[in-house]
Amino acid sequence: MEKKNGFLTELILNNPVFGLYLGICSALGITTALDNAVGMGIAVIIILTISNIVVSLIAPITPDEIHIPVYIVVIATLVTIVGLLMQAFMPSLYSTLGAFVDLIVVNCIILGRAEAYASSHNVKDSIRDGLMMGLAYTFAILAMSLIRQILGTGVLSLSNPLTQQTIFSLRLLPAGYEIPVLTSQTGAFLTFACLAAAVAAYKNSIDEKEAAAAKEAAKKAAADKAAKAKEAAAKAAAAKAAAAKAAAEKSSVKEGA
């Protein structure tokens, strides 16, 4: 990928959720509160990184015809382990996320990265890719849940998933000014539409800038070329003139002789 872009730009522009529309189910379903988004994001980062490691290790010995079922079994095993751990240590988070924990199996981002990246790269690159993609996904659902929770309930709060103690709770909007529709299903779709449009607008502006820069560069190159051609022509003319002069001198010398 383009290394010249900053970390944040890459996170926004190559975002699997807003850019490629992968893994939208959970991005819409669980983003009513910050707690859910943090829990889901951590679960996805862990599963995605480990699945990338395992897939990059077993890819060379997996027969080509059955590679998708094999990857799915790897992912399903990891999801089962994470689900059981979550059920044991964070029962309240597990029950609010509900079916979406199991549905991480069919989250297109994980199978997509296994198929498109980890199966053809070494372990180190795969770990980096897994962390990057997991972070981008977490970034997207955090943005969704921040908007929906702050505007929808007016209160921003985060609690420790292990002990269920509130870490902080801030009222950012005065009571009566919140927009409850944002916590409903409609709000999920609307928030997603606005964020996706914002990302698209950002992308468009960058594309336009790049197109303008490319045009400028092309213009400059053309101008350079023209200048060079002119120079060359001038040089050639000068050389010709010199040659003619030399010839004339020669002939005059000859004549003199």
Partner 1 sequence: MTIGSLFTILIGGMLINNIILARFIGMCPFMGVSTKLSSAVGMGIAVIFVVFGASVMSYLLYYFVLVPLNITYMRLISFILLIASFVQFVEMFIKKTSPSLYKSLGIYLPLITTNCAVLYVAIDNITQKYNLIETMVNSIGVPAGFMLVLVIFATIRERLSGNDVPKAFQGNPIAFVVAAIMAIAFGAFAGLV
* Smallest separation (angstroms) from partner 1 to the CB of 72: 6
Asked if 86 is part of the footprint of partner 1 (rule: CB under 8 A), the reply reads: no
135 CB burial (10 A radius; 0-12, 13-18, 19+): middle
Residue 161 near residue 192, CB atoms below 8 Å:
no
Picking from 191, 44, 15, the residue whose alpha carbon sits closest to that of residue 103 is 44
Asked if 179 is part of the footprint of partner 1 (rule: CB under 8 A), the reply reads: no
Compute the distance between CA of residue 5 and CA of residue 160 in angstroms, rounded to an integer: 35
Asked if 108 is part of the footprint of partner 1 (rule: CB under 8 A), the reply reads: yes
Toward partner 1, which CB reaches closer, 186 or 252?
186
Size of the site for partner 1 (CB under 8 A): 41
Toward partner 1, which CB reaches closer, 108 or 131?
108
Asked if 91 is part of the footprint of partner 1 (rule: CB under 8 A), the reply reads: no
* Structure tokens, 201: 């607008």
Report the amino acid identity of residue 243: A
User: Considering only 37-45, 107-115, 162-170, 242-250, which stretch makes contact with partner 1 by CB under 8 A?
Assistant: 107-115
Toward partner 1, which CB reaches closer, 24 or 45?
24
Asked if 102 is part of the footprint of partner 1 (rule: CB under 8 A), the reply reads: yes
CA angle 139, 142, 145 (to 5 degrees): 155
Which residue of 79, 132, 133, 147 would you call a contact of partner 1, by CB under 8 A?
79
β-partners of residue 155 are 171
3-state secondary structure of 173: coil
Asked if 29 is part of the footprint of partner 1 (rule: CB under 8 A), the reply reads: yes
User: Considering only 4-12, 55-63, 180-188, 211-219, which stretch makes contact with partner 1 by CB under 8 A?
Assistant: 180-188
* Smallest separation (angstroms) from partner 1 to the CB of 150: 19
**E-strand spans in the chain?**
155-159, 166-171
Which residue of 47, 111, 140, 143 would you call a contact of partner 1, by CB under 8 A?
111
Half-sphere exposure of residue 246, counting CA atoms within 13 Å on the CB side? 6
Which residue of 57, 84, 116, 211 would you call a contact of partner 1, by CB under 8 A?
84
The backbone torsions φ and ψ at residue 169, rounded to the nearest 5 degrees and listed phi first, read -150, 115
3-state secondary structure of 170: strand
Residues of this chain that bind partner 1 (CB under 8 A):
21-22, 24-26, 28-29, 68-69, 72-73, 76-77, 79-80, 83-84, 99, 102-103, 105-108, 111, 184-190, 192-194, 196-198, 200-201, 204
